[in-house]
Every structure is written in structure tokens, then in C-alpha cells.
Amino acid sequence: MSEAFDPELASQRDRLLNTLRGYGRVAVAFSGGIDSTVVARAAHEALGDQAIAVTAVSDSLASGELEEAKALAQQIGIPHRIIRTEEFADPNYLRNNPDRCYFCKSELYGRLAILRNELAVDAIASGANADDAGDHRPGMRAASENGVKHPLLECGLSKETVRKLAKAWGLPTWDKPATPCLSSRIAYGEEVTPERVKMIDDAEQWLRQQGLRLLRVRYHKGDLARVEVPVEELQRLTAPGLAHKLVAYFHDLGFKFVTLDLEGFRSGSLNTLIPIESLQIPARSKH
């Protein structure tokens, strides 16, 4: 697909490229999601072989995401490194309080910081965009503590603009739904375990095999699954044939109760369970 940029989008692209050039040699924290893919694409164009994409693998990575990240890195032409992170070894992460993401990102960015010399980079770049600034994102504090750069955010680029850039660059995932880590599906206060994230992963993969694209399976206390799909898809899941198969499969996975959320899919719905005081916790040490 040939590149096609209108003047406004071209200006936003150039601002992003110039920002990345100002970092020197860059390692992009590359999940394969749309945001980090655009940063990786821009970094490769701006810096050539002075940019590298680094993908972290752990139990919280959904099935197929690593393979997709590898394919995207190959398409972009950027060198690609895969590392293992061990957030599941941190009891603060397993406890799954509202600041869980802080410990996950501390693990990721801490490992990348240690690898800086080996990777021969001057900066670590994330895929945070301008729309992320106002959300509950404790991982941004971990990024700040590790000196991580946010080129999309610095350039004021929104999710919509990121998707436009991806489409103009011919990236196949330009319209890919957000794919946060599997642990984010577990209600705060319920322990994060490899077994629970696997239940969620298998459940979501099954729903995708039924032709659904935008979805979440949320885990709540008592092995309860709360399935979110767009409202217009709810009737499909309640049809007797599919509903029976869904319930049977989820029970086989270990869910004791299976529910459909009548409000439909909404990103970050578990954040509504966070007490307001938890959003005002001051920064604290990881240890």
C-alpha cells in the first residue's frame, strides 16, 4: 500500500519523526498494539538502524500477540528483540490493587533500562498517546521513574491520528482494537495468577473464533466471567445454540458463572470499581 498523507497528517508525521530524531538511538517498547507499532514505524524511518523494537513476553500476553509483533517488526524492517519479564514474581503485582500496572511497567522499563548499554540506545520510547494523559494509568509513573519518552504524547497525537498514520503507512493493524494485557481483565483485589489469565485468554480466543472482534472477558470474584461485546452483538450471544456452547466452554475453563454485560463493550470498565482515594495515592517505592 502506497503512503498517502494529506498536508495536516504529513505535518503530524514530520513532527513525530523530528521528535524521535532528537532522542538519539531509541529502543521502542513494542507490544504490537497500534500505538507502539506507529512509534516503531516512525523510529525506523527517522533513525534507521539506530532504532530497535523490544517486545516483552510474560503470562499476561494474549495468544497470538507475539507472533503478530514479530510479523509487524519484519514488515517495518526494524530490528526486533524479545525479552522475558517476571512481573508474576512480584507480590505487589499479584495482589492486583489499582496500582498493579505500576509494578508491571516498573518491571518492563527497569529491564529495558538495564539493557540500554547492550542495546546501544540513548532512550526508551513508549506508545502512550495524547488520549492516555487523562486516564487512570499508574504505568506512566513507572515510565517517568525510568526516564521513558512518550513521542506520541509529546507531539499531542491522539488515538485517531495514530490510526490515520498507521493506515497511511500501510500497517495492517491500523484498525486493530486495543489489546491491553490479560491481567487488566481481572477485577481489582482479585489475585492475578497464571491460571486465571489463561482462563481469560482461552475464553476470549473462543469468542473470536465465533467471529467477534471487539470483546473482553472480565474475571470477578467467585470465578465469575463478565463478557463485554458491542450491544448489537448481545442478541447473537443469547441465541440458544451459541449461548449453550458458550456456557459449556466457559465452565470447562473453570468459570463457575457466566454473565453478559448489558451495557456492552467499554474499554477500562473495571476502573469504575476503583475507590476515588486510590486515584490520589502519592508515588511510593516499589519495595
**Digit-coded pLDDT (tens) for 24-65:** 999 999 999 999 999 999 999 999 999 999 999 999 999 999
pLDDT in single tens digits along all 287 residues of the chain: 446 799 999 999 999 999 999 999 999 999 999 999 999 999 999 999 999 999 999 999 999 999 999 999 999 999 999 999 999 999 999 999 999 999 999 999 999 999 999 999 999 999 999 998 866 688 999 999 999 999 999 999 999 999 999 999 999 999 999 889 999 999 999 999 999 999 999 999 999 999 999 999 999 999 999 999 999 999 999 999 999 999 999 999 999 999 999 999 987 666 665 554 554 444 444 44
Residue 100 lies in a domain: yes
Q: Are 192 and 100 in contact (CB under 8 A)?
A: yes
CATH classification at residue 158: 3.40.50.620
Residue 271 lies in a domain: no
Residue 34 lies in a domain: yes
Question: Are 98 and 154 found together in one domain?
Answer: yes
Q: How many domains does the chain have?
A: 2
b/e string for 11-32 if b means 16 or more Cβ within 10 A? ebbeebbebbeebebbbbbbbb
Question: Are 61 and 145 found together in one domain?
Answer: yes
Question: Are 14 and 45 found together in one domain?
Answer: yes
Q: Are 149 and 177 in contact (CB under 8 A)?
A: no
Query: In terms of residue numbers, what domain contains 19?
Result: 7-168
Residue 279 lies in a domain: no
pLDDT of residue 275: 52
Last residue within a domain, chosen from 129, 145, 168: 168
Question: Are 148 and 56 found together in one domain?
Answer: yes
pLDDT of residue 267: 76
Question: Are 138 and 192 found together in one domain?
Answer: no
Residue 257 lies in a domain: yes
Question: Are 188 and 262 found together in one domain?
Answer: yes
Question: Are 67 and 38 found together in one domain?
Answer: yes
Question: Are 27 and 129 found together in one domain?
Answer: yes
Question: Are 16 and 113 found together in one domain?
Answer: yes
Residue 173 lies in a domain: no
Q: CA–CA separation, 87 vs 107, rounded Å?
A: 6
Beta strands in 74-192 (DSSP E): 80-84, 123-125
CATH classification at residue 211: 3.30.300
Question: Are 201 and 163 found together in one domain?
Answer: no
Q: CA–CA separation, 234 vs 254, rounded Å?
A: 23
Residue 84 lies in a domain: yes
Question: Are 29 and 136 found together in one domain?
Answer: yes
Residue 287 lies in a domain: no
Q: CA–CA separation, 19 vs 26, rounded Å?
A: 11
Tens-place pLDDT, residues 244-280? 999 999 999 999 999 999 999 987 666 665 554 554 4
Question: Are 127 and 212 found together in one domain?
Answer: no
